[in-house]
Copies of this chain bind each other. A is one copy, B any other.
Amino acid sequence: MKSNTRVSNAIIRRLPRYRRYLAELRNQGVKKISSNELSELIGYTASQIRQDLNTFGGFGQQGYGYSVDYLYKEINKILGLDREYKTVVVGFGNLGQAITNYTYYYKIGFNIIGLFDVNPRIIGLSINGVEVMDYSLLEDFVRDNGIDIGIICVNRENAQDVADTLVRGGVEGIWNFAPVDLDIPDDVAIENVHLSESLHTLSFQIRSKELEKANRK
């Protein structure tokens, strides 16, 4: 496999999507698939798909197509899903609870082993066998337990402080749900989920479609 340290952002966004479709095919017992068939499923062109997969060395055989199982496993490796991650959730309000449950039920490989909040009424609660701890214990916990990923579910005002604490503790990555752009060292990975911006993109599209309809009349 070629080194993937210089892969474009666009491919990185497409890979999890390939994985999702391959997981479905695998569950359906499909053994092999051509780039044309993949194209029909996923909606990218067949040449785009071949080009994407070639970036990582290419896994297809001329005249046969791709082995679904092999391609799925290789994409898992590329995505770093061939290992487990120790994670903590910081901020155990509605969103933190939802993300914790979501991750617990669906995300094999991302194990939440610590929950943190500042609210004394929440600290001490236990969810899926994990206790909610006082935020002041976060840095030591991250360091002592070799936490890989911190999930930030606090509000905008406190998010940078949480990020700094996670970084001091030594996390490799941050999954940020706070509506703010965090200042993070280059060697720590960051992925933002900005729900408000997603909702505003939707309202923009709704307005655009209304304008289109009005223009057509």
Residues of A within 8 A of B (CB): 3-5, 7, 12-13, 15-17, 19-20, 43, 78-81, 85, 94-95, 97-99, 101-103, 106-107, 110, 148-149, 172-173, 175, 179, 181, 187-191, 193-213, 215
Contact = CB atoms under 8 A, between A and B. Distances in A.
B85 A203 contact: yes
Contacts of A198: 16, 175, 191, 193
A207 B16 contact: no
11 contacts: A4-B208, A12-B204, A12-B205, A16-B194, A94-B97, A94-B102, A98-B98, A102-B195, A107-B199, A189-B202, A190-B205
Given A4-B211, A80-B206, A149-B206, 10 more contacts: A12-B205, A20-B197, A79-B203, A94-B101, A98-B98, A106-B196, A172-B210, A173-B206, A189-B205, A191-B199
A185 to B, nearest CB: 10
How many chain copies?
Answer: 2
Given A3-B211, A172-B206, A16 B80 contact: no
A81 B79 CA distance: 37
A175 B199 contact: yes
Contact of A95 (B17, B80, B102, B188): B102
Nearest to A104: B94
B16 A197 contact: yes
B205 A191 contact: yes
